Structure 1
């Protein structure tokens, strides 16, 4: 027997007299406007199905939740839904005593707060546990991994924090896992790779960090959605992404991912939407993306992609929205894009594209197409808001210009040859004169990339304070995003304060020392810049590899405001490994390099740590290259006697006669 009152417009409160209907096995009052609290007596009905979904039922105190305690005596309860009401307060711990035969427990879209009762893991018969859009806090109990019959688990849009429990990997029958819009942090558990039946997974809008677990991309059963967007994930998109051949929607936007896009993306033949925007992906757009014929939405904007827009994209005639804005793309817009018959949104703005915008096919109506921020693009359509393309030259004008060029080139060539010869002999004399005073020292060899002041200023946001990562006696160090070898790379830039005495000498010393040596425990110099700034003042800077974990001093003496360093600290083994790294570097400089190099300023703030806490000795501004035997140099040195280094890190009573 059942009482089905759903999908009406009933108002008022729920009558306690319903408890007298002892034969009821199904009670459904969903989708009405019933208000007030749930009478405790209702829990004594013991139906198989109890559906209160989409009303205005309220709860604020423990007494208001008393009906749940009465329900714990109902052994035949299989379905319980109190979803989409106005139930607040804390979920009573008595829910852990509900029937072990309960199959679906649904209480999302309420105002329930506090922690999720630990005892909910006792409901081992559940195949649906659904409680999104509440205000639950604290950690998700690790014991939830006991619910190994679960097929659907929704807890998105709450305020859970801490790490995601690795025990979720025990839920091997899970089809849907929705964890988005919480405050989870740390790495995604690799145990998620055990969910071999899952079809949909949402981890978006959290604070997950670390690299993408390859195990997730090996879940070939994912057929609906994989959402990893809006986190702090780093590293590359693994080639295992090609295993997701059944996936329909993939969102990895708004992370810190980098590296090239893998060609294996093209194996995802079922994708309809792909969002990889707002990351640091670099290199070129792989032409193999065109093989994803089912794709209707592609967003690669706000990355560091370079090269040309592949002609092959024009083969994707089913795509409707294509976003490539805010990258470093260059060259012409391929005319093949005219053939993308379904395209109605195209954003190519803020790149380095040039030439004429196509005017045929889908480009005949450019409403919804954006091209701004490409200063060398032109177009005849007034809707484009681009400068008009220059008219084609007449044949006569072309012939005339070719004739002038044919005469001018030999003349200009002869003048250039004479100029080159003159410059060569002049520089040769200057080089000989300089070699007398500098002993043949070169600032940097030709194998180092060239960077300009403008590139460094742009990469650091105008040397903004937000990008400042250190300051020393001779200058300041900034975090910088720099395009090197056609790849956007994060580097550290040391800008020398040339107003300070000895800074120019320190710059030359670091160039000379670091351009010679190579060792895994020495900071690696990428290049240098000796130029003028925007005010035509002298500018000198060194570009180093970026060390994500800062310097050793910040780990040994953490800032009182840096809670992560205070809590984490360095383990004994990590300290020992760092000491060994430093010793290896010094042994290399003193005993395995000819001529030997003395650092002269070894201290914790000059020991830099990479992402794996491997130590790198840096700051060679006071370094001395012992070009003659050390003993003889100490004897012969007269003019530079004195203490070199930092007070507190120089051996007491000793001098560096350098």
Structure 2
């Protein structure tokens, strides 16, 4: 019997079977499913599992990294393929996912540009593409995505200028354009993005001055403009940003003196990064009001004078980096800033080298944080002996005292610094013997005690057993490398002693 002549119930059954068969083969020949398949075509997961589920054997809402809406059940609202080992490009088909609110493709190896079709995503709130190899200019069409709250393009290869239209995003809270190749100036229109809490433009090629109008961003918590070509001074308006927790201006060409009430304005500051500029004058003692400060980095500037004696009020400090300035200390009172740092139990690094510090290094330095890993005071005018209790700093990895006027013996307690990797004592007036306890320093990579008046080891046949065969040793104009697999025998009977 011909199907056309079959009874009505049979015809209905045949029709239902036909529809069911087609649905099994392709349940969504168009729409979001098709857009996702086209998106996949431009990607490669390198044989991984990130895109393994992306096929028509299951519904696209169940695919890895895909989220669909609760009200609109078959509309994709989020793509999250973070650190999925992806290469390839972002397909223009992503612009067809009109309900998309979140795109997380960070920590992959994507290249090419952001397709202009992204401007169709009027509901987009989160665009996170950091740590890829994306390039070209940031597309103008992105301006249509007016709901954006986070844009994170950090760590890519974007070129061109910082788009002025970014200031039109009234909901934008975080803008990360750092670690790219952006040029031009900071657009004043960014001050119109009144919800901004994070503005990160560091590691680019941006030039010009810091716009005064940025002081209108009252909600700003992090401002990082470091490693650019900025000139001029810090605008006075920025001192109105009392919620600021991170201020990064390092490696620019900024100059001028900081106001006396600097620390009173920025009481919530946690990170202060001003290294490698041309700032001058005394550093404001009001910095001690910043009780949450963790990173204090002023290296390679022209700051001068004495440091506040109560730096220890900054109890949360981890990094104290002030090398390459003109800070001074002559009397014991001038060193109070360092003695007070014994209150900072989280301190990991103290870099004081290349300043004008004189007098004696306070013996209280031996009471610094048990977490201290780096202590460098080289290239100053420091005299007196090495603090005998230095062996108390059990976590110390780098101890550098070179180019000073230290006298006396090398403390035997240094041999207790079992984590020490670098010990540099050259160009002082140290005398006596090299203590045999240095043989306990099995992780030591560099020992430089040259240009002193040392006599070598107490035991001329002392055997050193380093963790590496490449320990580099310089003692009294004598240098050698350890190349033996298990030990390096030092016989340091220096001529003339």
CA distance, structure 2, for counterparts of residue 270 and residue 244 of structure 1: 10
Deviations 1:572-623 (A, max 9, x none): xxxxxxxxxxxxxxxxxxxxxxxxxxxxxxxxxxxxxxxxxxxxxxxxxxxx
Match of 1:203 among 255, 260, 274: 274
TM-score w.r.t. length of structure 1: 0.54
Unpaired runs of 5+ residues, structure 2, are 1-76, 462-472, 477-491
Call closer, same or farther: CA 1:39–1:327 in 2, change over 3 Å: same
Q: Partner of 1:312 in structure 2?
A: 389
Q: Partner of 2:374 in structure 1?
A: 297
Call closer, same or farther: CA 1:308–1:77 in 2, change over 3 Å: same
Match of 2:119 among 22, 40, 43: 43
Q: Partner of 1:68 in structure 2?
A: 142
Which is richer in helix?
Answer: 1
CA distance, structure 2, for counterparts of residue 237 and residue 305 of structure 1: 16
Call closer, same or farther: CA 1:326–1:24 in 2, change over 3 Å: same
- Residue 180 of structure 1 aligns to a residue in which SS? coil
- Residue 179 of structure 2 aligns to a residue in which SS? coil
1:23-422 counterparts in 2 under 5 A? Answer: 23-46=99-122, 47-60=124-137, 65-71=139-145, 74=146, 76-98=147-169, 100-193=170-263, 194-223=265-294, 225-260=295-330, 261-262=335-336, 263-294=339-370, 295-360=372-437, 362=439, 368-380=446-458, 381=460, 385-386=475-476, 388=493
- Residue 160 of structure 2 aligns to a residue in which SS? strand
Deviations 1:6-36 (A, max 9, x none): 4345555433343332211112333444443
Call closer, same or farther: CA 1:358–1:140 in 2, change over 3 Å: same
TM-score w.r.t. length of structure 2: 0.71
Segment of structure 1 superposing worse, 113-122 or 48-57? 48-57
Call closer, same or farther: CA 1:14–1:333 in 2, change over 3 Å: closer
Deviations 1:168-220 (A, max 9, x none): 32222222222211111112344531222222221111121111121223312
- Residue 95 of structure 1 aligns to a residue in which SS? helix
CA shift, 1:146, in A, is 1.6
Call closer, same or farther: CA 1:296–1:362 in 2, change over 3 Å: farther
- Residue 223 of structure 2 aligns to a residue in which SS? strand
CA distance, structure 2, for counterparts of residue 251 and residue 21 of structure 1: 49
CA shift, 1:312, in A, is 2.8
Call closer, same or farther: CA 1:29–1:267 in 2, change over 3 Å: closer
8 Å Cα contact 1:328-1:351 kept in structure 2: yes
Call closer, same or farther: CA 1:195–1:34 in 2, change over 3 Å: same
CA shift, 1:389, in A, is 7.9
8 Å Cα contact 2:257-2:281 kept in structure 1: yes
CA shift, 1:282, in A, is 0.5
Call closer, same or farther: CA 1:313–1:154 in 2, change over 3 Å: same
Call closer, same or farther: CA 1:25–1:317 in 2, change over 3 Å: closer
- Residue 14 of structure 1 aligns to a residue in which SS? coil
8 Å Cα contact 1:68-1:94 kept in structure 2: no
CA distance, structure 2, for counterparts of residue 16 and residue 117 of structure 1: 28
- Residue 234 of structure 2 aligns to a residue in which SS? coil
Number of residue pairs matched by the alignment: 384
Computing the radius of gyration from Cα coordinates, the structure with the larger value is: 1
Call closer, same or farther: CA 1:50–1:389 in 2, change over 3 Å: closer
- Residue 149 of structure 1 aligns to a residue in which SS? coil
8 Å Cα contact 2:414-2:437 kept in structure 1: no
Call closer, same or farther: CA 1:12–1:364 in 2, change over 3 Å: closer
8 Å Cα contact 1:322-1:346 kept in structure 2: yes
Indicate the RMSD between aligned Cα atoms, in angstroms.
2.7
Segment of structure 1 superposing worse, 374-383 or 200-209? 374-383
